[in-house]
Amino acid sequence: MSTPARRPAPARRGGRGRSSRRPAPAGPDARGTELELEVGPIAHGGHCVARHEGRVVFVRHALPGERVLARVTEGAEGASFWRADAVRVLSADPDRVDPACPVAGPGLCGGCDFQHVAPARQRALKAAVVTEQFRRLAGLDVAVEVEEAPVADADGEGLRWRTRTQFAVDAEGRAGLRAHRSHQVVPLTDCPISTRAVTGSGVLGARFGNVATLEVAAGSDGAAPLVVVDPLPGTHAHVPKLSDASVAVRTPEGLHRVSGRTWVGERVTVRVGDTEREHAFRVGGAGFWQVHPAAPRLLGEAVLAALEPRAGEHALDLYSGVGLFTALLADAVGTEGTVLAVEGEERAVRDARRSLHEHPRVELWAGAVEEALGDDELTARRTDLVVLDPPRSGAGRVVVEAIAALAPRAVAYVACDPAALARDTASLAEHGYRLDGLRAFDLFPMTHHVECVARFVR
pLDDT tens digit sequence for 146-195: 999 999 989 999 999 999 999 999 999 999 999 999 999 999 999 999 99
Distance CA 263, CA 224 (A): 10
Phi, psi for 245 (deg, rounded to 5): -155, 155
Domain final position from 211, 230, 264: 264
User: What H or E segment, with its residue span, contains residue 267?
Assistant: strand 263-272
User: CA–CA distance from 80 to each of 23, 70, 89, 217 (Å)?
Assistant: 7, 17, 25, 41
* 23 found inside a domain: yes
Distance CA 351, CA 338 (A): 19
State whether residue 282 is helix, strand or coil.
strand
pLDDT at 2: 40
* 304 found inside a domain: yes
* 346 found inside a domain: yes
pLDDT tens digit sequence for 190-217: 999 999 999 999 999 999 999 999 999 9
Q: Model's pTM, two decimal places?
A: 0.92
* 126 found inside a domain: no
Domain final position from 97, 117, 134: 97
Residues in the chain: 458
Q: Residue 24 sits in a domain of what CATH number?
A: 2.40.50.140
Which amino acid, one-letter code, is at 90?
Answer: L
* 137 found inside a domain: no
Distance CA 183, CA 177 (A): 9
pLDDT tens digit sequence for 234-247: 999 999 999 999 99
Same domain, 318 and 444: yes
Per the structure, the count of domains in the chain is 3
Same domain, 435 and 305: yes
* 142 found inside a domain: no
Phi, psi for 409 (deg, rounded to 5): -75, -20
Phi, psi for 162 (deg, rounded to 5): -85, 110
Same domain, 240 and 368: no
Q: Kindly provide the residue ranges of all beta strands, DSSP E only, lying in 174-262, ordered along the sequence.
A: 175-178, 185-187, 211-217, 226-231, 246-251, 254-259
Same domain, 229 and 319: no
Same domain, 342 and 426: yes
Report the share of the chain in percent with pLDDT over 70: 94
Same domain, 244 and 384: no
Residues with catalytic annotation? 416
- Residue pair 133/183 in contact (Cβ under 8 Å)? The answer is no
* 158 found inside a domain: no
Q: Is 370 annotated as a binding residue?
A: no
* 127 found inside a domain: no
Same domain, 242 and 391: no
Average pLDDT, the chain: 93
Domain final position from 74, 97, 120: 97
State whether residue 281 is helix, strand or coil.
strand
Q: Is 433 annotated as a binding residue?
A: no
Same domain, 254 and 313: no
pLDDT tens digit sequence for 367-387: 999 999 999 999 999 999 999
Same domain, 55 and 169: no
Q: Residue 101 has what DSSP assignment?
A: S
Return the closest-CA partner of residue 153 out of 293, 316, 269: 293
Q: Residue 305 sits in a domain of what CATH number?
A: 3.40.50.150
Domain span holding position 230:
164-264
Same domain, 336 and 187: no
Q: Is 290 annotated as a binding residue?
A: yes
Same domain, 209 and 223: yes
* pLDDT above 80 for 7: no
Q: Is 389 annotated as a binding residue?
A: yes
Same domain, 61 and 187: no
* pLDDT above 50 for 361: yes
pLDDT band at 274 (very low <50, low <70, confident <90, very high): confident
Distance CA 419, CA 425 (A): 10
Q: Kindly state the average pLDDT of the residues 119-146.
A: 98
